[in-house]
Amino acid sequence: MTSLSTPHHDPVTAKPRATMRHVAALAGVGVKTVSRVVNGEPNVSAATIAKVRDAARQLNFEPDIHAGNLRRADRRSQTLGLLVGSVANPFSGAIHRAVEDAAAEKGIAVFASSLDDDPTRERGIVSTFLRRRVDGLILTTASKSQGYLLPELEHGTPIVFVDREPVGVEADAVVSDNANGAAVATRHLIEHGHTRIAFLGDREDIWTMRERRRGYRDELGRAGISSNDAQVIGGIVDEQAARQAVDDLLASGNPPTAIFSSQNLITTGAIRSLRDNDAGHRIALVGFDDIALADLLDPAITVVAQNPQRIGALAAERVLAKLDGDTTADQTYVVPTTLIVRGSGEIRPNE
Amino acid sequence: MTSLSTPHHDPVTAKPRATMRHVAALAGVGVKTVSRVVNGEPNVSAATIAKVRDAARQLNFEPDIHAGNLRRADRRSQTLGLLVGSVANPFSGAIHRAVEDAAAEKGIAVFASSLDDDPTRERGIVSTFLRRRVDGLILTTASKSQGYLLPELEHGTPIVFVDREPVGVEADAVVSDNANGAAVATRHLIEHGHTRIAFLGDREDIWTMRERRRGYRDELGRAGISSNDAQVIGGIVDEQAARQAVDDLLASGNPPTAIFSSQNLITTGAIRSLRDNDAGHRIALVGFDDIALADLLDPAITVVAQNPQRIGALAAERVLAKLDGDTTADQTYVVPTTLIVRGSGEIRPNE
DNA sequence: TGAGGCGTTGATAACGATGTCACGGATTGT
DNA sequence: ACAATCCGTGACATCGTTATCAACGCCTCA
């Protein structure tokens, strides 16, 4: 056996990539001049620019942005790290898209990763971003504290939290009007005559879940509804669990007349259960976060809609502003939610 | 006025980032030894490893992956570029998620961008990826030819196309069973007694649209249905346009008894129009690509479902395999579609 | 006409990491 | 006991780019 080996892509056919040196040689100029042309720096003669452009085109030259970044004064990688719930989730997708649009305008590329509400993933992904020297971070978090980001903040990396407020660090955050939105939803149900309103919640350790539950409870309190009537069910991790939870509620001795489901997947699970149990027109439902085609269901689903586009756009705006030297004090930006009345939330008890 | 300036993040508070030299100095070893520890290379004493780890932790050291990449033999940036229709679109999101999962396993980060069916964007985004020296590319395309990628392919960069086949280059592609899926949908409608089946299509220059239309036409031909009965409407760019198109169809002198909508947003637009015109239970509808909650609508929507998870997973698998030296010949992988019968596709004419 | 300035250009060091290689000390084999 | 080997380690060159600075030629103005 010889020592011949093909460790990776076939080295026989692999053509080397053109560097500035190659371009410089072909154009008959120095590398620094190529650099000047590529970066649009002034004081290069038109003739030289043409020669260099030609050579670069011939060789399919693409500058190595990271090699440049190594020496460049501003050390910008033109890259952002984005961590969202899951890139497969429409809410996250809308945030991602808004961030991409803002970043693309400035030639900035975006790393996007999924958190899955897993603290370990959070740390790993952030580390992955940091090792790639992203210029800024937009993060949804799951860990108990984001104190580990302090050194990065001190270094000057702009960090903006989205969807959930951070713990253990001061930084910008962009979140939905969670407690108020939940209160509005709850009040809406109360105004339609309900007192037995169940709350279907996510995992206890998720900040948005606690905020929404707080809004729900506060509103019940304001209406003078006994907390005995509040059926708070937490720890619902997916659509199937939500379905089961509602099945159980309906089978219980004292079912609620209305349901407030505090999240996307939980809402669809609830819809399925209500449908299965033929209770869709009997039990009111208001969901937190809009769902696709909710207006075409029967009944159409009343929701408190979030504004993920706005959340993403605002987060990107803040990060980019900080990169441009903006020193506005860190704060939490609250993006309003909107009650969208469609039918399911206007069902009255005992109908 | 002094020459003091604050070009970017406040240089007064900006702490420098720790490099291997700093870690080496603190640990009292050479930089190469730090490199060995960080990369888990063998032949370092346990005591030295401990010293280095300690120092690295104290300084919050994160290695600069791109600086290393510059000198490293394999030149891997541990990064993939992914270009999809739009990161806000559930189909794209599912692909993205599958790619992310496969990549994350190997510590690879993913750049994700949206194409918006814009050839100019395609070129710009690919260039953006290339300048960042991604290890591989997974691309949805909009331009007439991908010939511009030839130099990159020759260089050995693995490229896999998703959703649409490339033109002008030979490369792996992972696509849905478009023509066949469309034929299955069409046959399904024919089997339920329809002959006047309208086709609602996307922009003409989109490969998937042409494939699906081909499947539709072929199937009509096989059934001996006159092409006069085929009402092909193309150039539908969004949901609103689809709605309008169906409104027009219904108002025409000779409306179809069934509709095959060849895409996601077009399907929802069609549903809305049918609903508005009170025709949902009279005119059959089969959509290409599944939509959320389709099973809860009235009627529930029959669709030919794609499998974006599978498409993404397969594309990622191919790219990663090529990175590992796999030299299987380039080919197009066809991911099967599935007819999901729910109700709207089983409505008979004249009901 | 000669000093000074400006526009254009390239040689060289440096960025933060890894590949190479050489060195010293410990271990092994005979 | 001595050579051969192996292990642990660090000095140095290097990857592709940009910052610095010096040099050159040409123009301007006194």
Rounded to the nearest 10°, the torsion over CA A305, A81, B62, B38 is 100
Please indicate, yes or no, whether residues B85 and B170 belong to a single structural domain of this protein.
Answer: yes
Nearest nucleotide, CA A72 to C1': D18
Q: Could you tell me if B121 and B186 lie in one domain?
A: no
Write down how long chain A is: 351
pLDDT attached to residue A62: 98
Q: Are B126 and B202 members of one domain?
A: no
Tens digit of each residue's pLDDT (9 = 90 or more) over A189-228: 999 999 999 999 999 999 999 999 999 999 999 999 988 8
pLDDT at B351: 58
Tell me the CA–C1' distance in angstroms for B45 and D5. Answer: 19
Checking if the pLDDT of B275 tops 50, the result is yes
Q: Are residues B198 and B297 in the same domain?
A: yes
* pLDDT higher than 50, residue B59: yes
Query: In the listed set A27, A45, A69, which residue is the last one of a domain according to the structure?
Result: A69
**Mean pLDDT of all residues in B3-11:** 38
Q: Is the distance between the Cβ of B235 and the closest atom of strand D smaller than 7 Å?
A: no
CA distance A29 to chain B (A): 22
pLDDT for residue B208 = 97
Rounded CA-CA distance A125/A81 in Å is 9
Q: Report the mean per-residue pLDDT for chain A.
A: 95
Q: How high is the pLDDT of residue B317? A: 98
Q: Is residue B11 predicted with pLDDT exceeding 50?
A: no
Residue A74 counted as domain residue: no
Estimate in Å the CA A173 to C1' C19 gap, whole number.
44
A189/A296 same-domain check = yes
B3 pLDDT band, cuts 50/70/90, is: very low
List bases, strand D, within 7 Å of protein CB. 7-20
Confidence of residue B106 (pLDDT cuts 50, 70, 90): very high
CB contact under 8 A, B155 and A15: yes
pLDDT band at B93 (very low <50, low <70, confident <90, very high): very high
Q: Does residue A75 approach strand D to less than 7 Å at its CB?
A: no
Per-residue pLDDT at B224 exceeds 90: yes
Share of chain A above pLDDT 90, in %: 94
State what percent of residues in chain B have pLDDT above 70.
Answer: 96
Could you report the per-residue pLDDT of A94-122, keeping only the tens digit for each? 999 999 999 999 999 999 999 999 999 99
Q: Which of B66, B152, B323 is closest, CB to CB, to A132?
A: B66
Do B121 and B98 lie in one domain? The reply is yes
Confidence of residue B229 (pLDDT cuts 50, 70, 90): confident
pLDDT digits (tens, 9 = 90+) for B251-264: 999 999 999 999 99
Determine, yes or no, domain membership for B1: no
CA-nearest residue of chain B to A121?
B104
Identify the pLDDT of residue A251. Answer: 96
The residue of chain B with its CA nearest to that of A6 is B325
Q: What is the mean pLDDT of chain B?
A: 95
Whether nucleic acid strand C comes within 7 Å of the CB of B75, the answer is: no
Quick check: B29 CB within 7 A of strand D? Answer: yes
- For residue B305, pLDDT beyond 80: yes
pLDDT over 80 at A2, yes or no: no
Q: Which of B87, B129, B132 sits opposite A97 (nearest CB)?
A: B87
At residue A111, the pLDDT reads 98
Residue A7 pLDDT > 50: no
Show residues of chain B in contact with A156, CB under 8 Å.
Answer: 8-10, 13-15
A182: CATH: 3.40.50.2300
Reply yes or no on whether the pLDDT at A12 is more than 70: no
Cβ proximity of A58 and A87 under 8 Å: no
Section A143-154 average pLDDT: 97
Alpha carbon dihedral A70, A73, A75, A77, in 10-degree steps, equals -80
pLDDT digits (tens, 9 = 90+) for A157-184: 999 999 999 999 999 999 999 999 999 9
pLDDT for residue B233 is more than 60: yes
- Answer whether residue B8 shows pLDDT above 50: no
Measured distance CA(B262)–CA(A108) in Å, rounded:
34
Say what angle helices B31-38 and B20-27 make with each other, to 10 degrees: 100
The pLDDT score that the predictor gives to residue A9 is: 43
Contacts of B127 in chain A (CB under 8 A): 62
**How far is it, in rounded angstroms, from Cα A268 to Cα A287?**
9
Q: Is pLDDT above 70 for A129?
A: yes
- Which chain A residues touch B133 with a CB distance below 8 Å? 64-66
Positions in chain C where some atom is under 7 Å from a protein CB: 7-20
Do B185 and B282 have their domain in common? yes
Please indicate, yes or no, if residue A160 is contained in any of the structural domains. yes
Half-sphere exposure of B348 (CA within 13 A, CB side): 5
> Is the Cβ atom of A66 within 7 Å of strand D at any atom?
no
Residue B63: closest CA among chain A residues belongs to which residue? Answer: A131
User: In Å, what is the separation between the CA of A45 and the C1' of D30?
Assistant: 30
Beta partners for residue A285, in sequence order: A259
Residue B302: closest CA among B258, B250, B251: B258
Work out whether strand B302-305 and strand B284-288 pair parallel, antiparallel, or are unpaired: parallel
pLDDT (tens digit per residue) in B131-166: 999 999 999 999 999 999 999 999 999 999 999 999
Question: What's the mean pLDDT in A303-309?
Answer: 98
Interface touch A66/B10, C-beta < 8 Å: no
**Nearest-CA residue relative to C1' of D10:** B30
Same domain, residue pair B185 and B292? yes
Are both B245 and B294 inside the same structural domain? yes
Residue B27 is part of which domain span? 8-69
Q: Is the CB of A70 under 7 A from strand D?
A: yes
Domain count, chain B: 3
Q: Is the pLDDT of residue B7 over 70?
A: no
Spatial distance between the Cα atoms of A113 and A82, rounded to a whole number of angstroms: 6
Residue A287 lies in a domain: yes
The Å distance, CA of B44 to C1' of D5, is 18
Give a yes or no: residue A149 inside a domain: yes
B131 touches strand D (CB under 7 A): no
On whether residue A184 sits in a domain, the answer given is yes
From A20, A50, A69, the end of a domain falls on: A69
Range in A139-143, A202-206, B8-12, B41-45 with the lowest mean pLDDT? B8-12
Per-residue HEC secondary structure of chain B comes to CCCCCCCCCCCCCCCCCCCHHHHHHHHCCCHHHHHHHHCCCCCCCHHHHHHHHHHHHHCCCCCCHHHHHHHCCCCCCCEEEEEECCCCCHHHHHHHHHHHHHHHCCCCEEEEEECCCCHHHHHHHHHHHHHCCCCEEEECCCCCCCHHHHHHHHHCCCEEEECCCCCCCCCEEEEECHHHHHHHHHHHHHHCCCCCEEEECCCCCCHHHHHHHHHHHHHHHHCCCCCCCCEEECCCCCHHHHHHHHHHHHHCCCCCCEEEECCHHHHHHHHHHHHHCCCCCCCEEEEECCCCCHHHCCCCCEEEECCHHHHHHHHHHHHHHHHCCCCCCCCEEEECCEEECCCHHHCCCCC
pLDDT at A5 over 70: no
Question: Is the CB of A62 less than 8 angstroms away from the CB of B131?
Answer: yes
- Checking if the pLDDT of B287 tops 90, the result is yes
Q: pLDDT at position B2, please?
A: 31
Which nucleotide has its C1' atom closest to residue A18's CA?
Answer: D16
Q: What is the CATH number of the domain that holds B65?
A: 1.10.260.40
- Going by pLDDT thresholds of 50, 70 and 90, the confidence category of residue B13 is low
Q: Indicate whether B47 and B88 sit together in one domain.
A: no
- Enumerate the residues of chain A whose CB falls inside 8 A of the CB of residue B327: 10
Whole-angstrom Cα distance, residue A213 to residue B58?
Answer: 40
Percentage of the residues of chain B whose pLDDT score is greater than 90: 93
Q: Is the pLDDT of residue B5 over 70?
A: no
Based on the fold, state whether residues B83 and B170 are members of the same structural domain: yes
Contacts with B154 from chain A: Cβ below 8 Å: 13-15
Do A56 and A93 fall within a single domain?
no
The answer to whether residue A351 sits within a structural domain is no
Answer with the residue of higher pLDDT: B62 or A9. Answer: B62
How does residue A46 score in pLDDT terms, banded at 50, 70 and 90?
Answer: very high
Across the A/B interface, how many CB contacts are shorter than 8 Å? 192
**Model confidence pLDDT, tens digit, residues A62-82:** 999 999 999 999 999 999 999
- Name the residue facing B156 among A10, A151, A158 (closest C-beta): A10
Establish if A1 belongs to a structural domain. Answer: no
On chain A, the residues whose CB falls within 8 A of the CB of B87 are: 87, 93, 96-97, 100, 112
**What pLDDT does A118 receive?**
97
pLDDT at A229: 84
